[in-house]
Amino acid sequence: MKANNQTNIENSVQVRKLLAKNKNAKNLFAIGEKVIPKLLLLIALLSVLTTIGIIVTLVTETVEFFQRISIIEFFTGTILKPLSQNPEFGILPLINGTIISSIIAMLVAGPIGIMTAIYLSEYATDRVRRMLKPMLELLAGIPTIVYGFFAFTFVTPLLRQIIPGLEATNILSPGIVMGIMIIPMIASLSEDAMSSVPNAMREGALALGATKLEVTFRVIIPAALSGIISSFVLGISRAIGETMIVTIASGSSKNFTFDITESMQTMTAYIVEVSGGDAPAGSTIYYSLYAVAMTLFVFTLIMNIIARYISKRFKEEY
């Protein structure tokens, strides 16, 4: 009897401890249920607050610049001489260099990227796809400064043997190398869009007597058009925002010209130049940095808005 009573007492004590432990665990879970959502909200708001801070900084400093320089002169001027005795701040040479380099990049990346995507999606075996796609995406992991030196020390000398009038720093070489850098983005996103097209559409077209090539261009590409166009727009945004390649290989000549063999400067390269220490804080050239950065921000924002619109406009539901 005594042994049974002792056992019952020990069991009741263990049960009480277990209940107390479970109660404490429930209290911790209850606290966690209240704290974790607020923590996640704070983390989500962090990116929003950062974006707001960037916009506020750009706007306030840009307003200060336009209080000193006419906004009409800034957006219509073709001469940019920020360090001369009579400084002029026309952004058209920078916009011109940015657009030309982006066009060259897309002329390289567009055809190669879409053809690569077609091969990976429609023609490559699973084994080949598993090998080629990681190798292709490896290009995206190379630092852009490496691409810049590659353009300056290899591509430019090679092109000068073909084009004798090509300057040591020019817009053609960095444009080509930017295109090489963008190929993985266009190829990967386009391949994902094509792979998402149901196989039933392929099989139906083949059953009607279409060839593999006809299925690709008349069925798959139209069905995946939303993702393909979005990849192109994102590629253009990437080219517009590229910094180190054009800074190293295109030079710092602020020429308003359409000759791709000459040196030009892009908006990002100008920002690097000004922020390098030549412009004292509070000077007009210092504030011009923010005006150019604001213009670049608007450019990339427009590209992202276009990409979202196209994605929704041509999106296919399967």
- Rounded Cα distance, 45 and 39, in Å: 10
- Mean pLDDT confidence for 71-78: 85
- Residue 193's nearest CA partner among 33, 310, 105, 80 is 310
- Residue 109's nearest CA partner among 165, 34, 187 is 187
Confidence check: pLDDT of 242 > 60: yes
Q: At what angle do helices 2-66 and 284-313 cross, to 10 degrees?
A: 120
The answer to whether 92 touches 76, Cβ cutoff 8 Å, is: yes
Under the banding of pLDDT at 50, 70 and 90, the label for residue 303 is confident
Residues 6 or more apart from 139 whose CB is under 8 A from it?
180, 181, 183, 184
Task: List, in sequence order, the alpha helices (H) in 119-171.
Answer: 126-137, 144-150, 156-162
- Rounded Cα distance, 272 and 202, in Å: 49
Under the banding of pLDDT at 50, 70 and 90, the label for residue 24 is low
Q: CATH number for 76-313: choose from 3.40.50.150, 1.10.3720.10, 3.30.300.30, 1.10.260.40.
A: 1.10.3720.10
Tokens representing residue 284 in the block = 């007009």
pLDDT tens string 103-124? 999 999 999 999 999 988 888 8
Confidence check: pLDDT of 15 > 70: no
**265: which DSSP letter?**
-
> For the chain, which residues make up each domain, given as ranges?
1-51, 76-313
Query: What pTM did the predictor assign?
Result: 0.81
Tokens representing residue 230 in the block = 């979005």
Confidence check: pLDDT of 188 > 90: no
